[in-house]
Amino acid sequence: MNNPIQNVKEKLTKQNLKTFLLITFGTFIFAIGIYFFKFPNNFSTGGVSGISILLGRIFPSFSTADIMWIINIILLIVGFIILGRGFGVLTVYCSMLLSFLTWLFEKVIPLSKPLTDQPFLELCYGMMLPAVGSAILFNCNASSGGTDIVAMILKKYTSLD
């Protein structure tokens, strides 16, 4: 008979812990780039964060982070329905963590204006930080969810890679 404690010990290896910490760090960097640089400058560069910025202007009663939560939850539900339960525990974790961190930043460190008066510099940070975060996630075979789920669905039903 399997010992539950032994099962946990087998899954909590140094490599799994390292991967989990890297994924959490990558998502944190991604969230910093989105919240501190994209949101206050209204940089709508695509993906769920870009859609959230646009919808936040249309529906001002919802915060951008709230809209991000809603879209990510809808995409995760669609992903589970179309791709099945195994489509990615890491995708669910990263997607929810990213939404949570942007919401948390919004509550703890509210921004009423951009950090600097240099929009080009902020655009560079707003692009580079999420790109570095995504690279860390992809290197760990994870994704931030969002529109990556749409890409996974397209890959399943088409020959697009």
Look at residue 140 and tell me if it is in a domain: yes
The number of domains in the chain is 1
Q: Is residue 80 part of a domain?
A: yes
- Whether 113 maps to a domain, the answer reads yes
Residue 55 lies in a domain: no
**Poorest-pLDDT segment among 25-34, 71-80, 100-109:** 71-80
pLDDT band of 6, cuts 50, 70, 90 = low
Evaluate whether residue 99 is within a structural domain: yes
**Is pLDDT larger for residue 42 or for residue 22?**
22
Q: For residue 6, is it within any domain?
A: no
Domain that holds residue 89: 15-46+62-157
Q: Is the pTM of this model over 0.85?
A: no
40 in any annotated domain: yes
Half-sphere exposure of 14 (CA within 13 A, CB side): 0
**Residue 8 located in a structural domain:** no
Residues 6+ apart with CB under 8 A from 95: 72, 75, 76, 144, 145, 146, 149
**Of 1-10, 68-77, 94-103, where does mean pLDDT reach its minimum?**
1-10
